[in-house]
């Protein structure tokens, strides 16, 4: 086995796959009703305004209609919740991926294309190949490792290619432009207004953004503990972004969780343990005194 193959299929605990699967599919349900509820508005948008993305044209996907949009919404809501349980991982997984893929084509074919969905879409495509996995299972799986690895690669590519696009279309002048200043004027918060008042800070921030995005692949060369700190920095970067210019990268943040040891987070086990302790404590107090 070559080094690159071994790296791509590095085995991980099945419990990590189960936890990541639950997180991703529950996020899909949240995305439908919290983050992108506006997609349903395309059900009443005139068909002539629909300009499908290249992949939509290649696949000859239909023009959205009220029946199509509402049917996909309802099916995704039910099937994503079912998939989050880990049952029928291939059948439910592939179905959710196909429906969400079409949901994104509908969302992004009216003049606005978000780049924060790439990692999530790759995760939805890869998770069905990981097979069955139970929460808390320490058995290691190469198939699951591959699913997480390609998601990680997609998440990092989101950063690196974003920097490439900035330099490709804006040139080196991007870092000294007024990009952040215009963003603050359009949608800035009070915190952003305070930052904007500091001379040259926005220019330094733009240098920092380019350096961070171009250097993001370094995360693959870090040891586990330092990698966790890098992921924490990624999350803090997006927290600051939202706190200043209210841009959310929620789908990307879900994909970034592929770097984390999610098998250590077991809310069901914690609830069961709490219930047993609580129940045992109550029964102890109810025991009659002899």
Cα 114 to its chain centre, rounded Å, is 13
The pair phi, psi for residue 199, each rounded to 5°, is -55, 135
Helix intervals (H) in 172-249: 179-187, 190-196, 201-215, 224-245
**pLDDT above 60 for 143:** yes
Most confident of 20-24, 44-48, 274-278: 20-24
d(CA 264, CA 260): 9
In whole angstroms, how far apart are CA 287 and each of 213, 275, 281, 283, 284? 62, 18, 10, 6, 5
pLDDT at residue number 149:
98
Mean pLDDT computed over 109-125: 93
| Banded model confidence at residue 265, pLDDT cuts 50, 70, 90 | confident
pLDDT at residue number 255:
97
d(CA 30, CA 35): 7
- Confidence (pTM): 0.89
| Banded model confidence at residue 275, pLDDT cuts 50, 70, 90 | confident
Q: What is the pLDDT of residues 218-257, one digit of tens each?
A: 999 999 889 999 999 999 999 999 999 999 999 999 999 9
The token duo for 223 is 């040891």
The token duo for 214 is 């171009």
Tokens 């330099």 appear where?
167
d(CA 137, CA 223): 24
Classify 16 as helix, strand or coil. Answer: helix
pLDDT at residue number 6:
93
């Amino acid at each position: 086995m070559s080094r690159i193959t071994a790296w791509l299929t590095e085995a991980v605990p099945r419990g990590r796959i189960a936890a990541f699967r639950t997180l991703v599919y529950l996020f899909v349900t949240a995305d439908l009703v919290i983050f992108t509820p506006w997609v349903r508005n395309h059900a009443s948008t005139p068909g002539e305004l629909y300009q499908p993305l290249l992949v939509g044209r290649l696949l000859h996907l239909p023009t959205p209609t009220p029946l199509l949009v509402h049917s996909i919404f309802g099916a995704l809501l039910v099937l994503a919740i079912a998939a989050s349980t880990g049952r029928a991982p291939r059948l439910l997984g592939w179905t959710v991926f196909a429906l969400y893929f079409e949901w994104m084509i509908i969302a992004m074919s009216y003049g606005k294309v978000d780049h924060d969905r790439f990692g999530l879409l790759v995760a939805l495509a890869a998770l069905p190949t990981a097979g069955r996995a139970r929460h808390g299972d320490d058995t290691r799986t190469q198939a699951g490792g591959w699913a997480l690895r390609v998601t990680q690669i997609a998440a990092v590519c989101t950063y690196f290619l974003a920097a490439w696009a900035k330099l490709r279309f804006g040139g080196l002048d991007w870092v000294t432009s007024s990009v952040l200043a215009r963003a603050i004027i359009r949608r800035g918060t009070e915190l952003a207004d305070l930052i904007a008042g500091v001379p040259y800070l926005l220019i330094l921030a733009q240098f920092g953004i380019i350096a961070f995005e171009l250097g993001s692949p370094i995360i693959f060369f870090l040891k586990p503990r330092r990698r966790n700190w890098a992921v924490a920095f990624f999350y803090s970067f997006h927290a600051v972004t939202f706190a200043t210019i209210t841009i959310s990268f929620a789908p990307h943040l879900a994909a970034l969780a592929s770097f984390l040891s999610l098998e250590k987070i077991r809310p069901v086990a914690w609830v069961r343990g709490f219930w047993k302790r609580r129940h045992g404590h109550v029964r102890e107090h109810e025991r009659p005194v002899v």
